[in-house]
Structure 1
Amino acid sequence: MKIVFVNVEDHMFLNQRLNLALAAQEAGFEVVVASNKSELHTAISAYGFKYVDTGNKREGKNIFSQLFSIYRLYKIFRYEKPDVVHNISIKPVIYGSIAARLSRVPKIVNLVNGLGYVFIQHKSFKRMAIKVAVIGLYRFALASKRIKVIFQNPDDRDYFISKKITCINNSYLILGSGVDTSFFSPSDKLSVNRKPIVLFFGRMLWDKGIGYLIEAKKILEAENIDFTLTLVGEPDESNPSHINLDQLKKWEIDGLITFLGYCPDMVEIIRASDLVVLPTYYREGVPLSLIEAASVGKPIVTTDMPGCREIVVDGVNGFLVPAKDSIALAGKIRSILLDKELRVSFGKKSRERAINIFAKEIVAKRTIEVYLDD
């Protein structure tokens, strides 16, 4: 059996789908990875996967380049003759499904890992028009009995069913992308007396609620609650909501944040933190950052949004706050920073949830069952 994973970028595959691809390989699949070629393609090939360059760009908007993307995928599928195609994220799901249907791939599996910035409530005519167009494209692309759709949270699944994009019979709910709980594990080092660290890691987007996090930091500073707010990640310039480097540097000069940029060794950074925060109002799937934080055994403060509430049970392993509410956010950060016993209790429950719900073995097993389901 052969499977083709269609991704937008190599680093996303390595960070989020490598465990699944290795599990598919172990289950007997010949694995082909189709992605926009970068310097990381050799790292993907090193795992014994065949690598194919799609030439697709995340930010491409020209209609002719989009049609070429579909044609390019069609040619790849015709040449590779896979038994299963697994498309991941918005453009691969739409373009990959159309191409796989045209090339008569027997099974097409699509992962909807969040709805993205297009589906954030917005009053602008342009954003609403794009949303209508995307829904139409989804309906067209997914209109086949050969297609199965995996959702990472029930809100997204129910939304797609309510909009008649897909139906309940070909919809599957698998929470998250899976985490290596052995690697992302709590530290056995004794904590030292130092200033508490509140950590945000992910793309530097306004939609991730970073502006509200900065306001919460100011509120707590005014109360003389001293802590370091550490931001890790890069601006995503292809996203209209990206925060530019000048703004990040200004916050750092003002003493509001410590900005580390991209860091490859996230597990040690998470271990060194006391609390992980994600005040997003972005339509997440299930945020990998929070899954990794839970696996390391950290308390979490996040928003009561789809995907986030699958990780955090309010008052059990962290707190859920309303989106775009810096006062509520500051209040919950305060509660955790000032109560060491609560931090320890929340951290233990986070670790339990990661092992029991989000472990890579659980996610991979359920996904491979979808591949094999007739």
Structure 2
Amino acid sequence: MKILCYFINSDWYFDLHWLDRAYAAQKKGYQVHIITRFSGTTFINKFTKMGFICHPISLKERSINPIGFICSSIKIFYLLYKIRPDIIHSITIKPILLGGLYAKIAKKSFVANIVGLGRVFDTKGFIFGLFKNLTLSVYKIIISNKKSCFVFEHDEDKNTLMKSINFGPRQTAVIDGAGVDTTLFLYQQEKRNNTPIVFFAGRMLNNKGLDTLVKLRRELKEININFDLVVAGIEVKDDPQAIPTQLLKQWRDNEDILWLGMRNDIQQLITESNIVALPTTYPEGVPRILIEACAIGRACIAYNSGGCKSIVKNDINGYLIEKNNYLLLKEKMISLLNDYELRVLMGVNGRALVTEKFSSNKIIGETINIYKNIL
């Protein structure tokens, strides 16, 4: 039995984006291990019941403490040595750096998933420039392992890295996001709500654009164009970009937003909405919330950041706005709020796009093929 080891920053992120692929690999005969930081017992119990072998670690996603990173690296290298995986599949920068170096040394097959290049590549300044150059140097070492493959969620990130790294002919692939189960996320035509509902979901980070939607709602309310802003997501306590809890409470108390916190019924929340909005400036992969929204048949509006343009096709299934062009965002939001028939048409187009490019069966098949190829 081949051993497949997923190495990822957090338990909830694996559950949301990778669980279907891990389960499909298990059904194909792989023994699946998960190395991640577990918060509590919810996910470790869930994954264990599914037959996965879990390995909790304490690697911090955003810490830049070099001593802590070295100590964590030694522990993870020893853990990988004990697991002896045939394939290491790492997601996000730190797991890619550590998993990739171990795979190079141990001559193991390795998959690096680039789910957006991240702040290391997007943020200006000396420190981030230093980290960027260091990351690129390690990526070059990793790619010298001929049994390695870098998987991107969209061509833009792939083209950016190819300017600095000489990948081999079979060492890159593009897989369009996480994919959704189109039998679970069924198309449902939106209801004509008296007050339209705009839905936002994601991590509570400033650069995800929630403050932009709060400002927009206030301004439109002044000219008697009203919508309810429903917000669900995860608070991030240890991130410099985190929206303070107190600000979320203030927006809630002022009725700027309907704050739901972390929810497990995103499908139902999308169904009840009229528009899904993500004016993010974060260097995204392909945002899952936009894929799910299109699958259900909701018009989307987003900034052209990272992989948003892979799922939002301007004037077809929503509006893709030049990043930080607030006036255009406002104009197009008004168009969507005032035109039910347009939203319905965009919803139908979005569903067709997801069926063609973003179904979970397609994404799973492409991922399993990569495992076969690098072995």
Q: Tell me if TM exceeds 0.5.
A: yes
Which residue type is aligned with residue 23 of structure 1?
A
How far does residue 324 in structure 1 lie from its aligned partner after superposition?
1.4
Residue pair 1:5, 1:85 contacting (<8 A) in 2 also: yes
How far does residue 285 in structure 1 lie from its aligned partner after superposition?
Answer: 0.9
Is 1:184 the counterpart of 2:185 in the alignment? yes
The question of 1:83 aligning with 2:48 is answered: no
Residue identity opposite 2:7 in structure 1: V
AA partner of residue 121 (structure 2):
F
Contact 2:192/2:340, CA 8 A, preserved across alignment: no
Number of the residue aligned with 2:101: 98
Moved more, 72-81 or 6-15: 72-81
Equivalent residue, structure 2, for 1:20: 21
Paired residues of 1:86 and 1:108 also in contact (CA < 8 A):
yes
Does the C-alpha gap of structure 1 residues 370 and 193 become closer, same or farther in structure 2, counting only changes over 3 Å?
A: closer
State the shift of 1:165 in Å: 6.4
Matched residue, 1:119? 121
Please name the residue that 1:370 is paired with: 370
CA drift of 1:6 comes to 0.8
Alignment partner, residue 280 of structure 1? 280
SS of residue in 1 equivalent to 2:184: coil
Q: Which residue of 2 aligns with 1:236?
A: 236
- 1:193 offset after TM fit, Å? 4.0
Q: Tell me the residue number matched to 1:56.
A: 59
Question: Cα–Cα, structure 1 residues 193 and 319, in superposed 2: closer, same or farther, change >3 Å?
Answer: closer
Q: Tell me the distance in 2 between the aligned counterparts of 1:228 and 1:141.
A: 48
Q: Is 1:359–2:359 an aligned residue pair?
A: yes
Deviations 1:227-282 (A, max 9, x none): 10112112212322111111122222333222111112111111110000000111
**What do the CA deviations read for 1:59-84 (whole angstroms, capped 9, x no partner)?**
33322221233222322222222211
1:263 and 2:266 correspond: no
Aligned to 1:216: 216
Q: What one-letter code is carried by the residue in structure 2 that aligns with 1:316?
A: I
**Counterpart residue identity of residue 90, structure 1:** I
Q: Is the 8 A contact 1:199 1:273 kept in 2?
A: yes
TM-aligned CA deviation for residue 167 of structure 1: 4.7
Structure 2 portions without partners, runs of 5+: none
Q: Distance in 1 between the 2:213 and 2:136 partners?
A: 32
Residue identity in the other structure for 2:100: S
**Aligned match of 1:203:** 203
Distance apart, 1:125 and its partner CA: 3.3
Change (3 A) 1:193 1:214: closer
User: What is residue 44 of structure 2 aligned with on the other side?
Assistant: 41
Identical-pair percentage:
29
Q: Which amino acid aligns with 1:352?
A: A
> Deviation at 1:129?
3.4
Question: Do the aligned residues in 1 keep the contact of 2:217 with 2:226 (CA within 8 Å)?
Answer: no
Residue aligned with 1:263, SS: coil
In 2: Cα distance, 1:302 partner to 1:165 partner = 33
Contact 1:196 1:273 in 2 (8 A): yes
Deviates more, 1:291-300 or 1:271-280: 291-300
The superposition leaves residues 198-227 of structure 1 with CA deviations (integer Å, 9 ceiling, x where unpaired) of: 011001111112222222222322221011
Deviation at 1:192, TM superposition (A): 5.6
In structure 2, the residue matched to 1:69 is 72
Taking the aligned partners of 2:63 and 2:251, their CA distance within structure 1 comes to 31
Look up the SS of the partner of 2:132 in the other structure: helix
Letter matched to residue 73 of structure 1: I
Call closer, same or farther: CA 1:217–1:127 in 2, change over 3 Å.
farther
Describe the shift of the 1:216–1:293 C-alpha distance in structure 2 as closer, same or farther (beyond 3 A): same
In 2, the alpha carbon distance for the partners of 1:216 and 1:358 equals 30
Whole-Å separation in 1 of the counterparts to 2:168 and 2:256: 47
Deviation at 1:121, TM superposition (A): 4.8
Q: Distance in 2 between matches of 1:177 and 1:315?
A: 24
Post-superposition offset of 1:88: 0.9
| 1:83-127, Cα deviation, whole Å (9 max, x unpaired) | 11111111111111112222332x1011010112232253x3333
275-284 or 233-242, larger mean C-alpha shift: 233-242
TM (norm. structure 1) is 0.94
- The CA distance in 2 between the partners of 1:165 and 1:241, in whole Å, is 33
Please list every run of 5 or more consecutive structure 1 residues that lacks an aligned counterpart in the other structure.
Answer: none
C-alpha RMSD of matched pairs (Å): 1.8
Amino acid at match of 2:297: G
Is the Cα–Cα contact under 8 Å of residues 214 and 256 in structure 2 kept in the other structure?
A: yes
Q: Distance in 2 between matches of 1:231 and 1:279?
A: 13
Report how far residue 50 of structure 1 moved.
1.3
1:151 equivalent in structure 2: 152
Does the 8 Å contact 2:107/2:145 carry over to 1? no
Q: Give yes or no for contact 1:31–1:49 (8 Å, CA) kept in 2.
A: yes
Amino acid at match of 2:104: R
Query: Compared with structure 1, are the counterparts of its residues 128 and 61 closer, same or farther at alpha carbon in structure 2 (3 Å cutoff)?
Result: closer
